[in-house]
């Protein structure tokens, strides 16, 4: 059945047809025709943000929290270019996102018309695919394909740029009966021979490690991972993007690896003889100096994106497929190896890893007269409950949040991992709360990150989105300051934000329609957190004024081997060879 309507009406009908219930956006000239029928939709909630970057990050937060495709809308030119950062962020972290942008009328494309930008060309390297639609009849197919591409294979962002005259013209709405994309055939089912070879290596190895990345979260494979770990008794490390994929409380878990990883996680990877890499990409923040990373290890690398396999580290056994299916088949294949009598003794290696975990636990100083940021975050994690979702910005507070909150379930941790985008936390928390209206959502943010996108608190206040925001206020760009302390002789060039004086975050919160609180002593931390939890009808902002000299440990300096990990300044762990 066909129906006559405008291209703008066709766009809204198409979004309804793919099940969209929420979009984040800002209207403008080129996209304005779409906003008229959007007003009449009874299925789609539009949330008017204060900046297009906020719309993109909110859509990311919604997608990460729900597993559905996030949607953002912007107009042409600067509206569209303000989405570049969220698109790049979603591309790096494999977040399913569809960005819809208005474009100048098709006759004006290429003429440097008012608010014209080649957003398709600009974003080509940071999207899975992109469309420029000038024919209104093509709108339904473009939307259907965009959502299919964004949500299948390795998830990621897709851009749909629509000319203004295509939105205004009359067209016939016809929803595609099927989607057939030549050249796009994501492989989800792994090759059985590769799985069997991986199982053989697992059975033979003496020092294996399950190196788990965000692909396990995206695939919904946490239960399969737990089954495999408990079947094999192989220690597990979860990257920054995989926090929550495996319970922190599980005895097989060694923590997060990498530049600021735990000693046990970093040490286990370095001394392993087999890495079972599941949905991770051997990122430089995990490997350190690449040619010194896990020098004695063979590699099983499973990923849904074939481009990632052997990109940074050669894979002895490459497996292309969805992590959920890969791990499920590995469980069966490993069982067959064990039944055939092929099983090494994993106990000594596991005992060694657990010795390192006990010998080098995470810890922090509690200086007299100054509030420890780690203590604040630790208490937030302990008081807020297991159903809470935590969203972080980027920097010291991100690393502390990754370490000192205990993550027991997938999806409980959302952050900007690959791109490292300051300003991510507040709008992403807003999007997560929209997707999870009955669950608590906390943004753990730094005073630097917070000042980039805090205007979205007005969006939260006006749209009844009661997130909690904990500002870890050390009055500086903390991670950069830490590097200046360690590598630039304490020359603090332009990292002092003076946030202890300007702005007054409590007054700013109140001006944006939120409840504002301040805490600067350890004795008041619990009471302040509990007070914020009593407020359920408005966003809450807490200004935690913390020790500016606190640093993130452990640490591997950029460009050095993971063997050079430090647990404090001028203090390195020791690994006895006879423990292996």
Catalytic residues: 52, 114-115, 164, 479
- Helix 7-17 to helix 139-151 angle, to the nearest 10 degrees? 30
Largest Cα separation within the chain, whole Å, is 77
Are residues 221 and 359 in contact, defined by beta-carbon separation less than 8 angstroms?
A: no
Q: Which two tokens stand for residue 171?
A: 């067209």
Nearest to 554 by CA among 392, 377, 370, 361: 361
Query: CA quadruple 158, 161, 166, 170: dihedral positive or negative?
Result: positive
* Chain centroid, CA 3 distance in Å: 40
Nearest to 465 by CA among 22, 16, 78, 15: 22
Cα–Cα dist 63/457, whole Å: 19
DSSP letters for 452-501:
HHTTHHHHHHHTT---EEEEEE-SB-HHHHHHHHHHSTT--TT-B--TTT
DSSP state, 448?
A: H
Cα angle: 363, vertex 366, 371; to 5 degrees? 120
DSSP state, 62?
A: H
Nearest to 565 by CA among 258, 348, 274, 319: 258
- Mark 495-507 as b/e (b = at least 16 C-beta within 10 Å): bebebbeebebbe
* Chain centroid, CA 273 distance in Å: 29
Per DSSP, helices labelled H in 21-138 are 32-40, 52-66, 78-81, 84-93, 119-123
DSSP letters for 151-206:
HSSS--EEEEEEEHHHHHSEEEE---S----TT-----SPPHHHHHHHHHHHHH-S
What lies within 8 Å, CB to CB, of 276 at 6+ separation is 198, 202, 208, 209, 210, 211, 234, 300, 302
Nearest to 41 by CA among 76, 74, 5: 5
Q: How many other C-beta atoms lie within 10 A of the C-beta of residue 213? A: 28
Secondary-structure percent of the chain, ordered helix, strand, coil, rounded to 5: 40, 15, 40
Q: Which two tokens stand for residue 437?
A: 């209206």
Query: Is residue 242 classed as helix, strand or coil in its secondary structure?
Result: helix
User: 101 - beta bridge partners?
Assistant: 74, 161
Are residues 430 and 465 in contact, defined by beta-carbon separation less than 8 angstroms?
A: yes
């Amino acid at each position: 059945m066909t129906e006559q309507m405008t291209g703008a009406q066709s766009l809204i009908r198409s979004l309804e047809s793919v099940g969209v219930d929420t979009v984040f956006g800002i209207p403008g000239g080129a996209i304005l025709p779409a906003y008229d029928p959007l007003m009449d939709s009874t299925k789609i909630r539009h949330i008017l943000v204060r900046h297009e970057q906020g719309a993109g990050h909110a859509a990311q937060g919604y997608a990460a929290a729900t597993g559905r495709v996030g949607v953002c809308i912007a107009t042409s030119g600067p509206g569209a270019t303000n989405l570049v950062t969220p698109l790049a962020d979603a591309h790096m972290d494999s977040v399913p996102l569809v960005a819809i942008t208005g474009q100048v009328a098709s006759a004006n494309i290429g003429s440097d018309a008012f608010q014209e930008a080649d957003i398709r060309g600009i974003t080509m390297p940071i999207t899975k695919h992109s469309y420029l639609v000038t024919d209104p009849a093509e709108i339904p197919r473009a939307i259907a394909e965009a959502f299919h591409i964004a949500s299948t294979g390795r998830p990621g962002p897709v851009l749909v740029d629509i000319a203004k005259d295509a939105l205004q013209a009359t067209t016939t709405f016809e929803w595609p009966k099927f989607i057939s994309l030549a050249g796009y055939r994501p492989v989800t089912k792994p090759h059985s021979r590769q799985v069997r070879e991986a199982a053989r290596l697992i059975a033979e190895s003496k020092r294996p490690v399950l190196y788990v990345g965000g692909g396990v979260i995206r695939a919904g494979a946490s239960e399969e991972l737990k089954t495999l770990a408990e079947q094999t008794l192989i220690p597990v490390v979860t990257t920054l993007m995989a926090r929550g994929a495996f319970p922190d409380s599980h005895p097989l878990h060694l923590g997060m690896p990498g530049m600021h990883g735990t000693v046990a996680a970093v040490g286990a990877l370095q001394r392993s003889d087999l890495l079972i890499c599941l949905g991770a990409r051997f990122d430089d923040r995990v490997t350190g100096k690449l040619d010194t990373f896990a020098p004695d290890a063979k590699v099983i690398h499973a990923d849904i994106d074939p481009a990632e396999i052997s990109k940074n580290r050669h894979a002895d056994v490459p497996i292309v497929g969805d992590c959920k299916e890969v791990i499920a088949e590995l469980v069966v294949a490993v069982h067959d190896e064990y039944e055939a009598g092929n099983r090494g003794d994993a106990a000594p290696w596991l005992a060694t890893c657990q010795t390192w975990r006990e010998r080098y636990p995470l810890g922090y100083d509690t200086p007299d007269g100054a509030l420890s940021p780690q203590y604040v975050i630790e208490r937030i994690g302990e008081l807020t409950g297991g159903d809470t979702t935590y969203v972080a910005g980027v920097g010291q507070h991100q690393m502390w949040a990754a370490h000192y909150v205990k993550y027991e379930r997938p999806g409980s941790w959302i952050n900007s991992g690959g791109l490292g985008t300051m300003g991510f936390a507040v709008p992403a928390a807003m999007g997560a709360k929209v997707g999870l209206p009955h669950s608590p959502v906390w943004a753990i943010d730094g005073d630097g990150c917070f000042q980039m996108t805090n205007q979205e608190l007005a969006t939260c206040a006006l749209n009844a989105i009661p997130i909690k925001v904990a500002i870890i206020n050390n009055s500086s760009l903390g991670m950069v300051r830490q590097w200046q302390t360690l590598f630039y002789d304490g020359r603090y060039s332009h990292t002092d934000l003076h946030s202890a004086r300007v702005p007054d975050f409590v007054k700013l919160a109140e001006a944006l329609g939120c409840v504002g609180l301040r805490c600067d002593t350890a004795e008041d931390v619990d009471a302040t957190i509990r007070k914020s939890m009593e407020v359920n009808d408005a966003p809450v902002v807490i200004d935690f004024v913390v020790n500016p000299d606190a640093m993130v440990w452990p640490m591997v300096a950029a460009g050095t081997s993971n063997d050079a990990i430090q647990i404090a300044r001028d203090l390195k762990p020791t690994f006895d060879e006879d423990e292996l």
